[in-house]
Chains A and B, each alone.
Chain A
Amino acid sequence: MQRAILILFLVLLGSGPLILSEFHITLLNYIGLSALVALGVVLLTGVGGLTSFGQAAFVGLGAYASAYLTTATDLPGWLTWAGGSPWIGLAAGLLLTAIVAWLLGALTLRLSGHYLPLGTIAWGISLYFLFGNLSFLGGHTGISGIPALALFGLELKSGRAFYYVIWVMLLAAVWITQNLLDSREGRAIRALKGGTVMAEAMGVDTARSKIIIFLIAALFAALSGWLYAHLQRFVNPTPFGLHIGIEYLFMAVVGGAGNVWGALLGAGLITILKQWLQDLLPKIFGASGNFEMIVFGMMMVLVLQRARDGIWPILARLVPPARGSRLVPQGDALPRNVMPQAGAGILDVRHVFKRFGGLVANNDMSFTVRAGEVMALIGPNGAGKSTMFDCISGVGSVSEGEIRFLGERIDHLTARAIARRGMSRTFQHVRLLPGMSVLENVAIGAHLRGTRGVLPAALHLERAEEQRLLAEAARQIERVGLKDSMFEQAGSLALGQQRTLEIARALAADPCLLLLDEPAAGLRYMEKQILADLLRKLKAEGMGILLVEHDMDFVMGLANRVVVMEFGEKIAEGLPDEVQRNPAVLEAYLGGVE
């Protein structure tokens, strides 16, 4: 069904120039140009969670670079070779955009939360004013007399001839984007929206993922600008201002920022609506001006209030979802790390302090974990157990003291670096991507076990590795007993199952030390038994397990050794039986007002 609709769409698109009028061809050309930019916004904002109002500036870079190189008569000596050809103009535009985007990205992508979109507004305005004030770019009047594109000796002077160039490039961009999202790198990108803590703990370099999508979005925009310059054969600063940048964002949001087709839909809707309103409104109001802004603004508010995910998901619901993707992935096993000798010390926490301002969350904590044992960390709520976990796994920093993992000091390493050394963890407050399937969520855990990068992913040249990663994820899902939910959305699982999913995700990393933060919370009795059996099996395989848990039955039946914490300090350590008889523990646990 979906395939049929896609084919129909492509056939209609392909036959467009044969049947449509000049006006409609022009409209479709503009839709294509906008959709290319909006596609970048979908990748950046809808998928990656980075909002940009400034994409129009990148369109401007692509357009001006080629416009300048193909028209300037007084190119500086070192540049004369690049003059005249639109294709060199394209290369120059993409290169320039990549450099500028990389610089801006390196500066602004560090910005947290709402600072990033404000930053995009800032450079959006700056670049716009720069275009208008540089005399060699023609100031506010711009550059005219840009040559037409020539393809195989054919001059593409008419919009009709240009149509195929635009749409082939757009569809290629859609294909690339979809391929990329459906890959190891794509999962890392999609993980950005869930915050960086989980992704980093799974070994994803989130800064790199961010800059990748920022560059791709900027390059799509620059490509659109180049096409625009040679279609229009004239450029001035107006279409590269902030308001147009805002319009691109609107296209993505109205169409549906979570899906590549949302970009096309949104670009189509907004472009057609704009055309229609620019005709209609001045007649109604009896004055000329960009009154479509009023309608766009109000429409945008309504869309965000009523259908925050845009229109595409609403349309998609009308079509039955594709089946057949529910085959359990099969593939060769991935190479595994060598497990340390059972009984060998793998984690050594020595006199660790963690302070938050005046509060001491961990006070002189010391303990070890050995391969092939379960060490339980217990204590009342607020005792500092989860803080301890964060220190060990590199999610938080240590104020003082030393942590060694497999003999190496790790207390100053990032979460990513620690994950690479064979430690994996779950979170007390589940951190997963609710809109992704269980399989994809678990596959994020195997991130470090793949190596193929963005380019092979965009062209789908990494399918063999991808298959092995997914197969590994599927194996871990079966192992923890979630096989029946493998293709469900992770967000639809019960809380206990979400915790189990996190265990599968951690296992997919092939760790030798597993940190589990309250894995049994929210599980029913039978599910706890299954989990306990799994942990026993892992222990027998030689894995070291550090466990925070409140369910005493669960802990006492499973743990080889127990450390009890209260107010950030270790108050007892020993075998489960010993600890249960320790008066200090009884006092801390049962509290009591007697």
Chain B
Amino acid sequence: MDFQIVLLLAQDGITNGAIYALLALALVLVFAVTRVIFIPQGEFVALGALTLAGLQAGRIPGTLWLLLGAGVVVALIDLAQALRSGSRRRIPRIIGWNLAYPALAAAAVTLLKPAEMAMPLQVILTLVLVVPLGPMIYRLAFQPLAEAPVLVLLIVAVAVHLALVGLGLLFFGAEGSRTPAFSDASYKLGGIVINGQTLWVVGASITLIVILYLFFEHTFYGKALRATAINRTGARLMGISTVMAGKLSFLLAALIGALSGILIAPITTIYYDTGFLVGLKGFVGAIVGGMVSYPIAAVGAVLVGLLESYSSFWASAFKEVIVFTLIIPVLVWRSLTTHHVEEEE
């Protein structure tokens, strides 16, 4: 292996690693706030990529049906609950978010000819369709179980993952999609060629991370999410509702997932079930960070990307075996180091 290849593989690894890092951040966020180990995080990657591809191809993406369907179910449950507890004031909000909003989105997709739109608008429309699914899934699957043990939440997360993969197959079919690159530019640096898309991925990831940092450090709601993550009871006693925090964190997770999907769609072909493995690699990063530390999780995720890139060169058939087997020592290390903290509380 010469130096050229080393650099080329590094570029690949960093590009994928940047995506894994974003996903790792989302996973840490969701786990810290809701204690849900969000296995379906990767499904949002696939949803983002496939929705964008669908819009560009002039199809109505299946995500729309998902949004409409989930909206109706949430609206029915919430309306029934609102009527039972006599809080009629909530009704307009329920209808607005769960029925009117999806209807507007449907109108936009069918009437505005998304295929002819400029790329940024297509991206925004994709987010409009995908992101609200996050809070809706929280409402349907996790909110009724907010007090359940982590293990129950984990099994529910796995169940949601299964349902979403099945729905992905139903709505997008078994064929994969790839979207055109954001930029065709390429730059020669030293001996190697750096793709414009690589810069886009890395740049967008860093920007998103900075925005998230500012959100958590300097806004009321960002701080409220942190407070919930640190001490749920304490946060509730301040009036920060678990439901609100849960929905907000799922919203951010869906946003991060969809954006990641949009970013990698031009690099690899995305199938309905690609998200799972992508998400799990983000997980490895998150676990390196012990599911609590954002910076360590991000670094861990980039390392996973590099490891994957180099192992695919040496032993491509065993790429996944190597990446996932390496979680085990990391888990053992994490488990041993966090044990002390628990003991001392």
Contact = CB atoms under 8 A, between A and B. Distances in A.
Please determine if A and B sit in direct contact within the complex, based on CB atoms under 8 angstroms apart: yes
Interface of B: 37, 140-141, 144-145, 148, 150-152, 154-156, 158-167, 169-170, 173-174, 280, 283, 287, 317-318, 320-321, 324-325, 327-329, 331-332, 334-336, 338-339, 342-344
Contacts of A133: 317-318, 321
Contact of A126 (B164, B283, B324): B324
A297 interface: yes
Contacts of A111: 331-332, 335
A130 B321 contact: yes
A289 B283 contact: no
Contacts of B320: 125-126, 129
Interface stretch (A152-160, A245-253, A400-408, A438-446): A245-253
A420 B321 CA distance: 44
Contact of B343 (A119, A249, A396): A396
A110 interface: yes
A297 B164 contact: yes
B328 A122 contact: yes
A331 interface: no
Interface stretch (A141-149, A300-308, A311-319): A300-308
A301 B331 contact: no
B162 A243 contact: yes
A33 B335 CA distance: 34
Contact of A301 (B141, B174, B329, B344): B141
B133 to A, nearest CB: 15
Interface in A105-149: 107-108, 110-115, 117-119, 121-123, 125-126, 129-130, 133
Contacts of A234: none
The 3 closest A-B pairs by CB, nearest first: A297-B163, A293-B166, A294-B166
B150 A304 contact: no
Contact of B327 (A118, A246, A356): A118
Most A-side CB within 10 Å, residue of B37, B150, B155, B331: B155
A287 B171 CA distance: 10
A283 to B, nearest CB: 13
Interface in A67-125: 104, 107-108, 110-115, 117-119, 121-123, 125
A591 interface: no
B150 A114 contact: yes
A123 B165 CA distance: 21
A300 B155 contact: yes
19 contacts: A49-B151, A53-B158, A110-B335, A111-B332, A112-B338, A114-B37, A114-B151, A115-B335, A125-B324, A126-B325, A129-B321, A130-B321, A289-B169, A293-B169, A294-B167, A294-B170, A296-B159, A296-B162, A297-B163
Interface centre among B170, B174, B334 (most CB of A within 10 A): B170
B174 A293 contact: no
Interface of A: 49, 51, 53, 104, 107-108, 110-115, 117-119, 121-123, 125-126, 129-130, 133, 243, 246, 249-250, 253, 285, 287, 289-298, 300-301, 304-305, 308, 356-357, 396
Contacts of B338: 112
Given A108-B331, A123-B328, A297-B163, A291 B170 contact: yes
A295 B163 CA distance: 7
Contacts of A108: 328, 331-332
A128 B19 CA distance: 25
Main secondary structure of the interface of B (DSSP, over half): helix
Contacts, number: 134
Contact of B325 (A123, A285, A301): A123
B21 to A, nearest CB: 18
Contacts of A49: 151
A288 B167 CA distance: 13
A301 B150 CA distance: 14
Given A107-B328, A129-B318, A297-B160, A114 B173 contact: no
Nearest to B157: A301
Contacts of B141: 301
A298 to B, nearest CB: 5
A113 B154 CA distance: 11
Contacts of A122: 324-325, 327-328, 331
A287 B173 contact: yes
B162 A246 contact: yes
Contacts of B156: 300-301, 304
Given A51-B155, A110-B336, A125-B320, A285 B328 contact: no
Contacts of B332: 107-108, 110-111
A295 B162 CA distance: 9
Given A293-B165, A304-B145, A396-B343, A119 B159 contact: no
B166 A114 contact: no
Contact of B344 (A117, A253, A356): A356
A59 to B, nearest CB: 18
A269 to B, nearest CB: 15
B81 to A, nearest CB: 14
Nearest to A288: B174
A51 B163 contact: no
A126 B331 contact: no
A396 to B, nearest CB: 7
A118 B140 contact: no
A478 B318 CA distance: 62
Contacts of A305: 144-145
A51 B154 contact: yes
A294 B328 contact: no
Contact of A250 (B150, B151, B159, B166): B159
Contacts of B174: 289
B328 A301 contact: no
A287 B170 contact: yes
B290 to A, nearest CB: 9
A108 B324 CA distance: 13
B245 to A, nearest CB: 19
A308 B152 contact: yes
Most B-side CB within 10 Å, residue of A53, A115, A295: A115
Contacts of A121: 280
A76 B332 CA distance: 35
A104 to B, nearest CB: 8
A294 B331 contact: no
B25 to A, nearest CB: 17
A142 to B, nearest CB: 16
